[in-house]
Each structure stands twice: as C-alpha cells, then as structure tokens.
Amino acid sequence: MFWRRTRPTLLLETDAARLVVFQGERALRWGSMPFPEWTTTPGEPLPPLEPFANALRTLWAHHNAPTRNVVVASAWLPADTRLIQWTPNTPLPSEPELAQRFWPGQQMRVGAHLITRQGTPYLFALASPQNLVAFIETTLANAGLQIAALEPKPLALIRGIGNPHCFVLDVGRTMATFTFVQDALPLVSATWRLTAPLLRTHGARLTRLAEQIHTMLERVATTYGPNALACPTYVVGTLATSPELRDMLTSVLGLSVASLPAQTPFPASLPPHLYITAIGLARKRI
C-alpha cells in the first residue's frame, strides 16, 4: 500500500544518493547524485559531512523536491535485530533498557515494537550505532532537509520486494549485505566490506562473498531449520546484473535467484535493482 500524499524518498548508498518523489503510486521525479565513496566500519572516524550535505542540496535543487517529511533509508546503517518471545501484557521496555539488555556497552539507537507470529507475541528490536544515526540526521539538517523517518536499507528493501520469506543480497562496489527475511522481518543480516587490498578484482570479491554467504546459510539452517533455505533470493545493488555473481549464487551456493517485481511505478529507464528501495520507502507507514 502506497502513501497517498506527496512523499520524497531518499536512499543513501555508499557512493550515491537516490531521490524519488512519489504521489501515491506514481513516481513524479527522480534522480541521483554521486557521493564521496565511503564504507562505514564501527570504530572508524566519520568523514566530514559537508560534501554529503552539498550533494544533497544539489540533488534537491535540481529536481525541485519537497524538503519536508523526507523518508530515508541508508545502506550505512546495519540492521542488527533481536526477536524475543514476549509475555502478553508486559510493558514495552524503554530504549535505554533495550540497549542495555541486548547491546550492552554499545552506543545504539534502538527501536522496538510488539508483533504476533503464529499466534505468539514477540518483541522485535532493531539497533543502529548512535554516531551513524546522528551523522545522517546532522547531514540532512545541514542540507535543509527534514526527516520523517530513517531506517536501515534492508527494511525498505523488504517492503519494496514484497516477499515475506526470502533472501536479499545487496551488492555495491564497496560493500555487500545479505539478509534472511522471514515473516517480512530481517531476522539475520550481515554486511561485508569489499575494499580490502586482496579484493581488488571482481573474481576475488565473488570468492569472498561466496564464503561469507555460505557461512550465513549454515547459520540460518542451524537456527531456523533446513527448510528455511527453500526460498527465493533477490539481488539488488550496483553489481546485481553481474552474470558471474548470479552464476556463483546458483551454481556454487545452490540458491534460487528470483526476478524483482515487474510492476513498478518507474519508467523502463530506471533499473529496479537500483530503485526498488524507494518503493519500500513509499509504502512505509509513519
């Protein structure tokens, strides 16, 4: 379901910003702007924010996009989640209590809500590093943009793809994220940098990805059972169209790669593997 009012959406990639302005189910305006290439790693210093703010100002001015109520997804934010069976009628813990319980000793921004799975109540909690959230908020404020909502990219991808049980592989030039989705929740997600000196060739990156994804698949099978692996895999991101990548996923890892939804609000000139996230942002309830 799409939000009916005009809604500006923004995807922050590691090397670009992607803007789409929606009116209901229709994409009115869209565009992208290169970013200074940056891959986040916990503990590393954050870059100067002004180059990012300048790029956003230019992007917004070029497309005359609304500056208020911008719905944002960021590939910079990890989707670190917890799913815990919950006792009915128990009050929801505060954000500091959740952070102390599930992410002790870490400075995290935490969100949580209660859900029901197969008639059983659960607490679903998601955390992102506080410094990264603050960096994004400050950058957009400096660009003159008001945030209505901010979330990790995998959450928007899940809504955009629309399959409640699947794997999602997001592969950019410098970073890759692999997410296991069940009941439309990102239950297992991991992000890997692809910028190490030994990963300079496409083949080396694919080998590293195959190793990491294989480890993730073993973890999913151990935690959720072998049948959990019997689901489609959707591939998005800058390198999503690589034939070698798809061959690795199917021939080496035995995954079933599915096509992204054919019906989108975009013209044929906009590739879904780069803009499907925007659909998820347009569908987000705020």
Predicted confidence band at 5 (pLDDT cuts at 50, 70, 90)? confident
150 and 284 fall within a common domain: yes
pLDDT at 130: 92
Examine the domain organization and report whether 206 and 90 are in the same domain.
Answer: no
Domain that holds residue 228: 163-260
Give per-residue pLDDT as tens, 58-98: 999 999 999 999 999 999 888 889 999 998 888 888 989 99
Q: Please indicate, yes or no, whether residues 192 and 243 belong to a single structural domain of this protein.
A: yes
What does the pLDDT read at residue 193?
83
Q: Are residues 88 and 135 in the same domain?
A: no
Residue 241 sits in the same domain as residue 268? no
Q: How far apart are CA 6 and CA 29, in angstroms?
A: 11
Checking if the pLDDT of 102 tops 90, the result is yes
Both 36 and 155 in one domain: the answer is yes
Q: What is the DSSP string of 216-259?
A: HHHHHHHHH-GGGG-SEEEEESTTTT-HHHHHIIIIIT--EE-P
Q: What is the three-class DSSP state of 265?
A: coil
Element of type H or E holding 96: helix 95-102
Is the pLDDT at 205 greater than 90, yes or no?
Answer: no
